[in-house]
């Protein structure tokens, strides 16, 4: 942020806001989680059988030797642990994205021209009192604040998906994944939904479509189509929340869609406040569109 004078006009404060940053940070966080889960599951599948101990450990450290895992027990539990840890990471990473989106929106809310009073503290930074209050909100209230204050909203289907996914994260973090009354969003228990990328095989002659499975042969005169499907899981009261690798990919894809939809809404809000938006490589006159005052 800098002040700059143009001819005889009074100084203006020029505010450059990179609207691509929140989504870019979110994409990197998702990729990190996917890569680490992939590495963990691959290593689990290829590790040679042996005693469970830390690398370099002379004697196995055990504080409850009667409950120490065997190699096969640890291998099975490790797979669940990696998937659950990856799931928690991607949900918690969504908080960072929402905080970055709020920073952009709060800066935009000042308008393309504003007067900076003496001793003014920007209210849009994450370190500001406003930023700290937002930081401590839960996911649902963060989304509500973005909608109420900046008209940055999420569509109904994705909002429902985020609610269920966040409830599952809370269940994993606070109750070891065992569904309790606090987690229920359905009379029967905890219902979670997400999007899934699917490949469909379409028979050219009949138009019939079916889901393409791994290692499945494709008949002649067939087209392969990419389709976004929907997945829904219900975990009953007392059941343990668990996910497959395919589930984690679907959840990541859904949360990426959340980021893309909210980012588009941030851009729309920015336009509504009168900010010119430049494409990559373009330059924008900080005084605003020609003819404005």
Strand pairing of 12-14 and 2-4? Answer: antiparallel
Do the Cβ atoms of 194 and 250 come closer than 8 Å?
yes
Q: How far apart are CA 216 and CA 210, in angstroms?
A: 12
Residue 88's Cβ-count burial label (10 Å; 0-12, 13-18, 19+) is: middle
Q: How far apart are CA 165 and CA 256, in angstroms?
A: 13
Which DSSP category does 138 fall into?
A: -
List the Cα angle 27/33/38 in 5-degree steps: 125
* Residue 212: per-residue pLDDT: 59
Do the Cβ atoms of 281 and 41 come closer than 8 Å?
no
Q: How far apart are CA 197 and CA 195, in angstroms?
A: 7
Residue 283 tokens read as 């330059």
Do the Cβ atoms of 269 and 156 come closer than 8 Å?
no
Which string of DSSP letters, residue by residue, matches 42-110? HHHHHPPP-----TT-SS---SSGGGPPPHHHHHHHHHHHHHHHHHHHHHHHHHHHHHHHHHHHHHHTT
Give the burial string for 53-78 (b: 16+ CB within 10 Å, else e): eeeeeeeeeeeeeeeeeeeeeeeeeb
* Residue 286: per-residue pLDDT: 40
Element (H, E) at 7: none
Task: For the chain, 293 residues long, give each residue's pLDDT as a single digit of tens.
Answer: 444 444 444 444 566 778 888 999 999 999 999 999 999 999 998 888 887 777 777 677 777 778 888 889 989 899 989 999 999 999 999 999 999 999 999 988 887 766 666 666 777 889 988 999 999 999 999 999 999 999 999 999 999 999 999 999 999 999 999 999 999 999 999 999 999 887 767 766 676 766 655 556 666 677 776 778 899 999 999 999 999 999 999 999 999 999 999 999 999 999 998 888 776 554 444 444 443 33
Residue 144 tokens read as 């509500």
* Residue 82: per-residue pLDDT: 93
Question: What is the reported pTM?
Answer: 0.80
Residue 56 tokens read as 């370099």
Q: How far apart are CA 185 and CA 204, in angstroms?
A: 42
């Amino acid at each position: 942020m800098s002040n700059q004078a143009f001819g005889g006009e009074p100084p203006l404060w020029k505010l450059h806001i990179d609207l691509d940053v929140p989504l870019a940070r979110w994409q990197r966080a998702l990729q990190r989680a996917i890569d680490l889960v992939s590495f963990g599951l691959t290593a689990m599948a290829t590790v040679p059988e042996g005693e469970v101990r830390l690398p370099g450990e002379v004697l196995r450290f055990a504080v409850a030797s009667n409950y120490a895992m065997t190699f096969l027990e640890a291998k099975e539990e490790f797979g669940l642990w990696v998937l659950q840890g990856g799931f928690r990471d991607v949900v918690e990473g969504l908080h960072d994205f929402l905080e970055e989106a709020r920073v952009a929106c709060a800066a935009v809310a000042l308008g393309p021209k504003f007067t900076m009073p003496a001793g003014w503290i920007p209210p849009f930074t994450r370190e500001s009192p406003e930023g700290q209050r937002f930081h401590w909100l839960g996911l649902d209230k963060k989304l509500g604040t973005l909608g109420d204050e900046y008209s940055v909203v999420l569509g109904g289907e994705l909002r429902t998906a985020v609610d269920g996914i966040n409830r599952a994260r809370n269940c994993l973090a606070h109750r070891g994944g065992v569904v309790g009354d606090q987690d229920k969003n359905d009379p029967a228990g905890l219902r979670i939904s997400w999007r899934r990328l699917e490949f469909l095989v379409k028979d050219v002659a009949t138009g019939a479509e079916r889901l393409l499975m791994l290692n499945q042969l494709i008949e002649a005169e067939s087209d392969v189509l990419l389709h976004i499907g929907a997945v829904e899981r219900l975990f009953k009261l007392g059941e343990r929340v668990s996910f497959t690798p395919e589930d984690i990919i679907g959840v990541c894809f859904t949360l990426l869609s959340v980021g893309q939809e909210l980012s588009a809404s941030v851009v729309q809000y920015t336009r509504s406040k009168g900010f010119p938006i430049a494409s990559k490589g373009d330059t924008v006159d900080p005084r605003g569109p020609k003819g404005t005052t």
